[in-house]
Structure 1
Amino acid sequence: MNIKTPTNARKEFYELLKQVNDSHEPVFISGSKSENNAVIIGQKDWNSIQETLFLESTGTMDKVREREKDSSGYSDIDALDWDNI
């Protein structure tokens, strides 16, 4: 886990931006008070998190997990009700 103080993060900001995008590992900024803490992540990772939250909130991931448990291992793609997934 990469933890930086705000002062060090400020000094290394550009390098931290490259690092989080290259490694896909977040950088934690630890302030003197917990309400001053933050996390830096890359844009692609943020987009991925947002997509996952959306799919969970709409119930789509529940459908995916149901299909993964389907013992037949086969889904007729044409039979899917795409408007209600």
Structure 2
Amino acid sequence: MQESYTPTSARKNLYQLLKQVAEEHRPITIQQKDAALDTVIVPKDDWDAIQETLYLYQTGTLAKVAERENDQSGTTNIDDIDWDNL
């Protein structure tokens, strides 16, 4: 379950919260009165992984991987892969 804090309580414990997020790889939410202003704090490594996954999805690479994983016709010859156009 994701923990939530008000801006005031987060500010009081900011260093500890940042350390907790980094060590436990669990995001925390800073909730504000206007939900449109809520913010999530995640570790940098997790953020980078999310960004990479989004990039692979947007470029269609994840779909190609899933297609190959579900291919029942046999194995893919590595020499037949167009690595420049994945």
Displacement of 1:45 in angstroms is: 0.5
Q: Deviations over 1:19-77 (max 9, x none)?
A: 11111111001011112210000000100010011001100001000011011452222
Instruction: Count residues in correspondence.
Output: 85
* Structure 1 residue ranges without an equivalent (≥5): none
Runs of 4+ residues over 3 Å off in structure 1 = none
2:72 is aligned to 71
Question: Percent identity over the alignment?
Answer: 49
Amino acid at match of 1:82: W
Change (3 A) 1:17 1:68: same
Matches of 2:72 and 2:22 in 1, distance apart? 39
Change (3 A) 1:73 1:13: farther
TM-score normalised by length of structure 2? 0.90
Matches of 1:73 and 1:30 in 2, distance apart? 51
RMSD: 1.2
